[in-house]
Structure 1
Amino acid sequence: MRPGTLDTSDRPLVLIWELTQACGLACDHCRADAQPNRHPDELSTAAGKQLLEDAAEFGDGQLVVLSGGDPLVRDDVEELIAYGDDLGLRMTITPSGTGSLTADRIQAMADAGLKRMAVSIDGASPERHDDFRGETGSFEETIRAVDDARAAGLPVQVNTTVCRETVDELPEIRDLLREIGAVMWSVFFLVPVGRGRILEPIEPDEADAVMAWLDEVSDEEPFGVKTTEAPHYRRVSMQRRRREQEESADGTRDASGGEENPGIKRRGGIVAGDGFAFVSHTGEVFPSGFLPESAGNVRDRPIHEIYRDSELFRSLRDRDELTGKCGACEYRNLCGGSRSRAFATTGDPFASDPLCPYVPEGYDGPLPWDGNEFASAD
């Protein structure tokens, strides 16, 4: 177990349950390639309650995120939240920004024991956001839902996708988060799966620059900042803070803080399968929703057993299994690279993350640029 971190061999920091893939939106980045209608083989209410009972075996306070599609397509959401809350789980939800997210529904979820609600904002204006989400009025519905959540006493997290289409919106989205009182900004760096395959990712050097900017934002804003599918944010932050310490020691400037970002300490090394697990709408267990390689089904085996004992999850927790420059990197235990992006671009979850521009000193092997590892470091 790494000092100051969760024992990720025993339990995930985040367990996501995709209640359904049904959704009224057609977002450009959708991992699930969501459809209008529910799948007939979705986990039933009874099967879902069994899943929550098994999740409680991870220990008190296990974080469970109810996602979709649009989870509010189901009419048992409040019942599931209350059941999980009674089991000692921290129940949260990521609904779609549609008319299903009414003030009454939000209040009902809060009354059932919901601890946090996350909404997606991918543009700072209605035009930019609605175009990305594929639904006119989605921005207004989302902002209205944020107000309703705050009125119900629910903390609100905002999720934002980073790709070529949205990257220039980030500064204005930051300002918007401050205005609406968000408690957390979760910034997702595009993985080319589902509908996201048609979107253009930003370049590796630009990704590092965005992460350095986000690290500054985390120091300056009242809300927290975390990244999704961008674990090298931890490397970028560590390098930035080391530079500040060195400059402070040279008397050139005052360091903003010599210790690691508390969020980095808490999430050190968390990647798909290592501190993270995803249960699909039909019960398949994946290391991440963006790494659709099944390790089993919760109908056949409890989630805590699959997470702890399956060969796939155990391998993903062994950083010595990494190949290419990720395997040679001195930051592999802090970072580990996006296993989902490696899988999406090479078919190998242990390959290098093509979004990371960092090349370890002395490494002269293949590089993952353009989604492959055929280019030489020379």
Structure 2
Amino acid sequence: MDTLLVPPDAMQRRPGPLWLLAEVTYRCPLHCAFCYNPVDFAQAGPELSTDDWLKVIREARALGAAQFGISGGEPLVRDDIEILVREARQLGFYTNLITSGVGLTEARLAALKDAGLDHIQLSFQDATREANDLITNTRTFDLKRKVAAMTKAAGYPTVINCVLHRTNIDHLDRIIEMAAEIGAEYLELANTQYHGWAFLNRQALMPSAAQLAEAEAVTERWKARLGKKMRILFVTPDYQTKKPKKCMNGWGEVFLSVTPDGLALPCHTARMLPGLEFPDVRDHSIDWIWHESPLFNRFRGTAWLPATCQSCEDKDKDHGGCRCQAFMLTGDPGATDPVCPKSPDHALIDAALAEAEKPGGARPLVFRDPKNSTRLGRAF
């Protein structure tokens, strides 16, 4: 069976997206080894113009989208973010800036606040200067501390995201302590999901089972200690969950991402999938893309699921799992996510977990930068 055929029952009218993610650029001053951006980002086309983004924002809002996230790369390398925020806010979006903090000066912060920006999520990579700067291959830790204080002084709640992996997960006690010292109201501890550059660096980044268990215990102790002072979310990595997750809460059901060069995606890593045509927002309306494009209908619902999933009592809960994960591990985006114990390819997950138990010997990190992107090209 051709796994890339669109199921007939997927082509139906449905509610519009709730969340619009604008990946406004792949440019970034950081070089994180776990970045979810495509490994071949250097081959992407020209970035959308301000007017292109305004069109996307208006059309997505007309379909009912309510959340507007701005990310990258580092979105603040563009000088039009205030324009996009103001338009989105005037249309009724809740607006969220996802940033490393690089480029967020007091003047820029004041302009964003004046434009109506609701929320800022600031990334930290570790609790010390040395460890933070190592994984990003930059010197940004002191700047991040300054930005955290600056956003709090401007009246924004302090929302911190920290991606966990083998090289920082043992520092979690200090990471949470740092967030509490900063006065964070919300801390997301996002264990690395192995997409993009993280998949390339999986052997070096994946923690052992003991490391993960200890991290969960540390998190629970801090939750009990802090109570309502700081909300902590611990996101378990897919490889260790034993159950697949519904792709982006359902492929083409809630989430719409637009890449810097204008491709509309049902998930922010989907451009890696082979055999699919990715609609360009400059050529098609968001309405057509969401409702009629073959891409957004390809993995909607459950009619397309392989035989392994069709007879499963959980198919309506997980829709066969992550399409990108299935492709990266099996070469087939229509396969059952190997995270599922019922997948015929589940041994691939077991092998990766077994590799993580081996002491030392990890490969050196490949950092996300244009030079490496050009050299590596399409890595999978």
Specify if TM > 0.5. yes
> Residue 9 and residue 33 in structure 1: after superposition, are their counterparts in 2 closer, same or farther (change >3 A)?
same
Query: Could you tell me which amino acid in structure 2 is paired with residue 284 of structure 1?
Result: L
Hey, what's the Cα distance between the residues in 2 that align with 1:106 and 1:10?
35
Decide whether the 8 Å contact of 1:274 with 1:316 is kept in 2.
no
Choose which of 127, 144, 168 in structure 1 pairs with 2:130.
127
Q: Deviations over 1:283-318 (max 9, x none)?
A: 101222222145311111122431233333234331
Q: Does residue 1:321 correspond to 2:304, yes or no?
A: yes
Q: 1:26 aligns with which of 27, 31, 34?
A: 31
Task: Give 1:326 shift.
Answer: 5.9
Alignment of 1:60-209 (within 5 A): 62-98=66-102, 100-136=103-139, 138-180=140-182, 181-185=184-188, 187-194=190-197, 196-200=199-203, 201-202=205-206, 209=213
The equivalent residue for 2:255 is: 276
TM-score w.r.t. structure 1 length? 0.73
* Matching residue within 277, 291, 316 for 1:308: 291
Q: Summarize the Cα distance change of 1:36–1:12 in structure 2 as closer, same or farther, 3 Å threshold.
A: closer
Report the identity percentage.
27
Does the CA-based 8 Å contact 2:100-2:124 persist in structure 1? no
Deviation at 1:54, TM superposition (A): 0.7
| Secondary structure of residue in 2 paired with 1:160 | strand
Deviations 1:78-122 (A, max 9, x none): 111001111111111112232x12122122212211111112222
CA contact (8 A) 1:324 1:366 kept: no
Change (3 A) 1:36 1:306: closer
C-alpha contact (below 8 Å) 1:326/1:353 kept by paired residues: no
Deviation of 1:43 after TM superposition, in Å, equals 0.7
Flag structure 1 segments of 5+ consecutive residues without an equivalent. 1-7, 237-263, 374-378
Q: Find the residue that maps to 2:122 and give its secondary structure.
A: strand
Deviations 1:218-262 (A, max 9, x none): 9645315264974986969xxxxxxxxxxxxxxxxxxxxxxxxxx
1:285 aligns with 2:264: yes
Q: 1:305 to 1:268 in 2, by over 3 A?
A: same
Q: Who is 1:242 aligned against?
A: none
How far apart, in 1, do the equivalents of 2:26 and 2:90 lie? 26
Letter in 1 for 2:259: S
Letter in 2 for 1:155: P
Q: TM-score, normalised by structure 2?
A: 0.72
Deviation at 1:153, TM superposition (A): 1.7
Which SS does the other structure have where 2:270 is aligned? Answer: coil
Alpha-carbon contact 1:159-1:185 (below 8 Å) kept:
yes
Distance 2:240 2:254 in 1: 16
Q: What is the CA distance between 1:25 and its match in structure 2?
A: 1.7
Letter in 2 for 1:278: S
In structure 1, C-alpha distance between the alignment counterparts of 2:243 and 2:61, rounded to whole Å? 32
Task: Give the C-alpha shift of residue 30 in structure 1.
Answer: 2.2
Distance in 2, Cα, partners of 1:228 & 1:17: 25
Counterpart residue type for residue 52 of structure 1: I
Quote the offset at 1:348 in angstroms: 2.8
Question: RCO greater where, 1 or 2, for CA within 8 Å and sep 6 or more?
Answer: 2
**Cα distance, 1:212–1:26 mapped onto 2, change above 3 Å:** closer
CA 1:31–1:283: 2 relative to 1, 3 Å? same
Return the letter of the residue paired with 1:140: D
**Shift of residue 21 of structure 1?**
1.1
- Superposition pairs of residues 323-362 of structure 1, within 5 angstroms: 323=306, 329-336=312-319, 337-354=321-338, 356=339, 359=341
Say which is worse superposed, 212-221 or 25-34, in terms of deviation.
Answer: 212-221
Verify: 1:16 aligned to 2:24, yes or no.
no
How far the C-alpha of 1:213 sits from its partner, in A, is 5.3
1:239 maps to which residue?
A: none
1:198–1:311 distance in 2 versus 1, CA, 3 Å: same
Unaligned 5+ runs, structure 2: 1-12, 352-380
**What is the one-letter code of the residue matched to 2:285?**
P
SS at match of 2:135: helix
1:311 partner amino acid: P
